[in-house]
């Protein structure tokens, strides 16, 4: 599959996606050579593979736009965070011949936490990698920095209060 002229389109959670049967994804992509292989892997945050497949591709015609089936074979409890990863390419997968997608979601609320599409190597491949990608975007402050900020506010307030009281005393 030549991806030099291929494009991976958007990916989103399919209506059928749940905790027990499927992590299906609506996805689209175009290609100039028919792919020979389709693959998928579904994981939870513990790193457990809860569904996977690697099959000969039946795609022809230059484009795919539909639901990419991602079966879940190990039932998950409510509110499990699931990573649904898949793609299509040649027998030997490389960035030059493979398109991929990834959707991270809560299987009960169906809230999508992260999506990705692109060439092989662009997207996370597990739920844990997907969560790490969005967690890296959330800034955190260390306890020491919070303590220093609190002390700065405390001393600034004390200084301003003393300055104001001193000004009032001089005004009498």
How high is the pLDDT of residue 2?
A: 47
How high is the pLDDT of residue 9?
A: 79
4 DSSP 8-state letter: G
- Written as six digits, the tokens of 43 are 């994981």
How high is the pLDDT of residue 28?
A: 92
How high is the pLDDT of residue 108?
A: 96
How high is the pLDDT of residue 7?
A: 66
Report the alpha-carbon distance of residue 76 to residue 96 in Å, rounded.
35
Q: How do 7-13 and 25-30 pair as beta strands? A: antiparallel
How high is the pLDDT of residue 172?
A: 65
pTM score of the predicted model: 0.76
Q: Which of 85, 77, 68 is nearest to 124 (CA)?
A: 85
3-135: in CATH 1.10.3470? no
How high is the pLDDT of residue 139?
A: 57
Average confidence (pLDDT) per 10 residues, the chain, 172 residues: 59 95 94 92 97 95 92 96 95 88 96 94 96 73 70 74 75 68
């Amino acid at each position: 599959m030549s991806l030099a002229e291929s494009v991976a389109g958007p990916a989103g959670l399919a209506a059928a996606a749940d905790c027990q049967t499927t992590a299906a994804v609506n996805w689209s992509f175009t290609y100039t050579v028919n792919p020979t292989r389709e693959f998928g892997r579904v994981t939870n945050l513990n790193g457990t593979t809860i569904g996977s497949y690697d099959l000969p591709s039946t795609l022809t015609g230059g484009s795919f736009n539909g639901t990419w089936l991602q079966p879940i074979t190990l039932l998950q409890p409510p509110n499990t965070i699931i990573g649904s990863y898949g793609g299509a390419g040649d027998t030997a997968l490389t960035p030059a011949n493979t398109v991929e997608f990834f959707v991270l979601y809560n299987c009960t609320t169906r809230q999508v936490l992260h999506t990705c599409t692109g060439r092989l190597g662009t997207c996370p491949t597990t739920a844990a990698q997907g969560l790490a990608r969005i967690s890296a975007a959330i800034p955190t402050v260390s306890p020491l920095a919070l303590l220093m900020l609190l002390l700065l506010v405390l001393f600034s307030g004390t200084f301003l209060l003393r300055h104001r009281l001193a000004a009032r005393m001089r005004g009498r």
